[in-house]
Structure 1
């Protein structure tokens, strides 16, 4: 299928239930008759689906793959209060709920569902696929795999300031206080969950015109990230997994990811001389999406 076949196909806005609340999503459906293989996509830390995920979905759509691109609860168009609450267990539940919903769609081949996650979502898809053995394949892009490694990548002084906010937020939540927010992507030296040289510019480059994502989350999340090691689940995934690893990743260090990827029974590794945010745009995007399409054609053909 060539790019022109689906060039004018617009996604349909849909929703599915997760934890009694609605996750909003964009459903991209190829123009011909199904059933289609489906790719489920979601973003990383503080990201929403308008932040360049549509660019990937459009490329996959042109190859004949349906795509379901969703926002986690508490983010974007999805329900959930308080807003901007990043809860790891809830986000993993959202992935499972998206899978459950996809399997009910008449035009989808339930034996050909692929999980695609990037950054923090790249770790989530490893955990989700290890738990649900019914997926066909996994694409883990620039993945967060090791909480300690990502924590140590942050300037120690900044990390202390973030932790102080996190404790304040967690204690306040016990008494019903409004969340204490922390910046997601900050300039170097400023207080934020990501404050490397490329973090702020990279995060802002993903913003779409007229749909600016909020650059903050409830600070309590910082107390949980250090205890999250989704990379350890790679060894339990029995289906093909493509790890797209950025050698110059300042947010999700490549070293631990390469170690975990080597343990995946059907793992494939593609390495890029790029930074964490580079692979969403420009030439780096073209390279990574081409590798992902080759992987899909091989393991989950249309």
Structure 2
């Protein structure tokens, strides 16, 4: 069985919340207090006292806009409240059948000291950690610890205003998560793997480029700059979104509340991503009995910072193996831009899978195939690191 334990850690004065997934043989006592290089000390890792920072409010409806806010791009979404905690309502992960790759990974994921490797997972632009629970469970079933967390101002983590994706701040949150993982007594501090999805895929490359002690990097459908053309978006729709971005940026400079827009919308709607497939994916995520920390609202000012974000420049500085997993028909993070990440990395590897950007979320067969390959890659990387002489 895999055990999920709620944790908090500090990132530049903001309390980030996460969940640590442990393999059965390592799930006894998460131990160390969260003091150290990431900042001020937080509570003990085993605490499960509710959302970090202020309490979460009920997860509101994922409507296109909640509340009103004047501005040139039309009606905006209102400020989102704190999200409910789906993990508290989710049954513990079931024991999974270990295949050969999983068993082999478990063998190499444990060091001579009895400590285990740890995969630190970070999600995409507006994602929340609950969408990565199933991935963390797979890594834990393969004998590794796995840490998922929410970026500042999202999900259960602290930070105001809410739903503001700050590229630099998210990178710092990832560094703080890595520092937290290394301080746990059951984690081998020399066996940390970074795993990122979409925008998180860019962050893991950037952070690992400055952390030579990371063992390996997995970037899944990663962001590597915006495509030259966004399919399905007219010139008028692009101008509306650019207007919303500019207006929100001005409000941020003036210290005013964000001008929120939906993250996902239908074609023709003002939203960061407005496609039928994206809308169908979100409807499935939020319909019926489904519960999620995710909110369909975002401060679009963040897109300005992403326009200048080119992780392929950092990929060239990586000193560890990099696996880039892409979708053959991805229009959000196209294969041609992601290929550059693997090409620039000294030990880069590209793997392509059938489907679109959203197939990695919605197609179980694709998702399981990708995870099998990722576990095998991590296994090889751990073996490679263990075979290298240690420099004292």
Q: TM-score, normalised by structure 2?
A: 0.71
Partner residue in 2 for 1:81: 160
Partner residue in 2 for 1:22: 15
In 2: Cα distance, 1:150 partner to 1:14 partner = 40
Which among 27, 30, 35 is matched to residue 115 of structure 2? 35
Partner residue in 1 for 2:4: 11
Q: Which runs of 5+ in 1 are unaligned?
A: 1-5
* Stretch moving more, 97-106 or 63-72: 97-106
Partner residue in 1 for 2:358: 277
Deviation per CA, 1:116-152, whole angstroms, max 9, x where unpaired?
A: 00011111111111122211000000001123x2774
In 2: Cα distance, 1:151 partner to 1:217 partner = 22
Residues 1:174 and 2:258 aligned together: no
Q: Are residues 20 and 297 of structure 1, via their aligned partners in 2, closer, same or farther at CA, if it must alter by over 3 Å?
A: same
In 1: Cα distance, 2:282 partner to 2:344 partner = 30
Compute the displacement of 1:32 (Å).
1.4
State the 4+ residue runs in structure 1 displaced beyond 4 angstroms: 150-154
Partner residue in 2 for 1:217: 298
Residue pair 1:163, 1:222 contacting (<8 A) in 2 also: no
In 2: Cα distance, 1:144 partner to 1:37 partner = 26
Residues 1:123 and 2:123 aligned together: no
User: For 1:144-183, what aligned pairs fall within 5 Å after superposition?
Assistant: 144-147=223-226, 149=227, 152-153=230-231, 155=233, 156-183=235-262
Compute the RMSD of aligned alpha carbons: 1.8
Which among 297, 316, 341 is matched to residue 235 of structure 1? 316
* Stretch moving more, 256-265 or 200-209: 200-209
Residue pair 1:39, 1:68 contacting (<8 A) in 2 also: yes
In 2: Cα distance, 1:267 partner to 1:47 partner = 26
* More helix per residue: 1
* Stretch moving more, 162-171 or 37-46: 162-171
Aligned length: 293
Compute the displacement of 1:157 (Å).
2.6
Q: Are residues 224 and 255 of structure 1, via their aligned partners in 2, closer, same or farther at CA, if it must alter by over 3 Å?
A: same
* Stretch moving more, 85-94 or 255-264: 255-264
Residues 1:296 and 2:372 aligned together: no
Q: Are residues 273 and 83 of structure 1, via their aligned partners in 2, closer, same or farther at CA, if it must alter by over 3 Å?
A: same
Which among 245, 253, 259 is matched to residue 326 of structure 2? 245
In 2: Cα distance, 1:150 partner to 1:120 partner = 17
Q: Are residues 206 and 287 of structure 1, via their aligned partners in 2, closer, same or farther at CA, if it must alter by over 3 Å?
A: farther
Q: TM-score, normalised by structure 1?
A: 0.92
